[in-house]
A and B are shown apart, each in its own frame.
Chain A
Amino acid sequence: MIEVQDLTKSYGGSVAAVDHVSFTVNKGEILGFLGPNGAGKTTTMRILTGYMPATSGTARIAGFDVFIDSLEVRRHIGYLPEAPPVYPDMTVSTYLDFVARIKNVPTERRGVRVADAMHKTNITDKGDELIKRLSRGYKQRVGLAQALVHDPDVIILDEPTVGLDPKQIIEVRNLIKGLAGNHTIILSTHILPEVSMTCDRVVIINKGKIAAVDTPQNLTQQLKGGQKIRVEVQAPEKSLQEFLAQIPGASRVQVETAHSNGHVAATVEAAAGKDIRSQIAAGVVQKGWPLYELRGVSLSLEDIFLQLTTEDSAHAQAAI
């Protein structure tokens, strides 16, 4: 349904915002776009929706090139930008009616489509309300309704759950899951659990480059491989550093400066498949340091990126 080949976008500077990105999305699939802010998620989505042209590379949606057949592509997509594109002075229903008009929904189907989009996003009771009087969460849902109103084949959502409260987030995730099958969906997020809960496949993007493409299950598996351990003891900073570094399988020892009460905290990463917690505990006890805390920390998205990016540069150095 969506084929992206070597897509590159540079804004004139030396660094490309999107750098040779390629991926495909099958019909009815939900693809998650995962990356930190500024990774190139929004730029990629804007190219796919025909809002801006790519510097090089091609992207096809439903068989149409996004640049050459832009109008045809735009007929097939619903798009929710980062900020919901709403007119504050309009009521919800007149706004959706307007969007349905510019999306070429036939006159006789318009009423039904608007009602359906409002029903799906749970804003039916807000129809006569001015958009400027709605809360952030409701505005976001109006934005979602706008992307659904013409029943498009492809739905592109840029951070659809941002600004919502936890209950609304669950509702929106369920809504998105319910849309899959009939619609092909791309959504972007920087929240890892969101991807594992809603998406069939994940593209991890960083600094404009694709770092990984996989199913959330495989990705989580990979992440569980390495583990981060936090330990807090009462000991000299230096000897703690030395002690942790000599444990087999430990890497990236980071010792924080001592607290006022004399406690020193450190984090250490264990190699995949190795649990070094017992070794640390035994060692600490042996040295006679009082132990205050010892726990595994699950790797956050930031850590994965740190890993992915620093590994890259390590490889590069090895090559030299």
Chain B
Amino acid sequence: MKSLYAIYRKEMGHYFVSPVAYVVVGVFLALSAFFFNYFLAAVMQQALQMQMQEMEMGMHPNIDVTMEVMRAFFGLLSTLVLFLTPMLTMGVFAEERKRGTMELLMTSPITEMQIVLGKYLASLTLFAIMLLPTAGYLIFTYVRSEPVPPWRMLVAGYIGILLLGGCLLALGSFISSLTENQLIAAVLTFAAFLLVWVIDLGRNAGAGAGDVLQYLSVIRHYDDFTRGIIDTSSLIYYVSFIVLFVFLTVRSVDSIRWRRA
């Protein structure tokens, strides 16, 4: 436990001196802030138009501004995460191998599991820190809404994005452990993300295979969360995904011993 914490601590320290982390977090926050403003303005405009129509024809307006903004915003967050997390994970192991510090870690009395988990938890923490300011925007719209929408929606949405990010970070760490080259790691990670993202395009592949492909897409399950639904099958999907790739990373790190280096 102590060794795991030592690795975690070192990784966090590394993130806070690394220009890559600052650039990724900065770009993420700037883009999310810009799009939040944009969505808010667009949805309000739409609501205003509907209100005018109602006055003309006596129809009841049927638009929940907060919900609309939130759905659009969570959709955007997932897209930003798709593009930016490869940059967070590309160096996790690749840099360590290139610098030769992997040799230090692997000749120290710590297990591969401690190394991998320490690093994974650190990347997850950074990811959560990166998301934190965006919750402020939504909380702001919540308290300004009348009536206040259920908080459950907000919580479910953030659980969803954390799980989605958790999957991508686990997959990204695994790919980073396969190579010494950060750039290769980033490109392969992005390609792998896209694959698990769009895999449900094959849902028309026929009865059995279509269902399976649809279930395998990371983004299908995320949609449920943004609608405020915490589905057990989605939870199981995300948790299994994370466990699988953390396990594969442990095996991959262990196999470095057998590769010629």
Contacts and interface: CB of A to CB of B under 8 A. Distances in A.
Contact of B103 (A53, A81, A94): A81
Interface residues of A, number: 32
B144 interface: no
A203 to B, nearest CB: 21
A87 B107 contact: no
Interface in B1-24: 2-3, 5-7, 9-10, 13-14, 17-18
B140 interface: no
Interface residues of B, number: 27
Given A89-B14, A101-B2, A101-B6, A83 B108 contact: no
A102 B105 contact: yes
Contacts of B9: 98, 101
Contacts of B3: 101-102, 104
A74 B109 contact: yes
State the majority secondary structure of interface residues on B: helix
A71 B109 contact: yes
Interface of B: 2-3, 5-7, 9-10, 13-14, 17-18, 99-101, 103-111, 257-258, 260-261
30 contacts: A46-B103, A49-B107, A50-B106, A50-B107, A51-B107, A72-B109, A74-B108, A74-B109, A79-B104, A79-B107, A83-B100, A85-B101, A85-B103, A86-B99, A87-B14, A87-B99, A87-B101, A89-B14, A89-B18, A90-B10, A90-B13, A98-B6, A98-B10, A99-B108, A101-B3, A101-B5, A102-B108, A102-B110, A104-B2, A104-B3
A277 interface: no
B257 A146 contact: no
A12 B259 CA distance: 10
Contacts of A86: 99, 101
A91 B2 CA distance: 21
A103 interface: yes
A98 B104 CA distance: 11
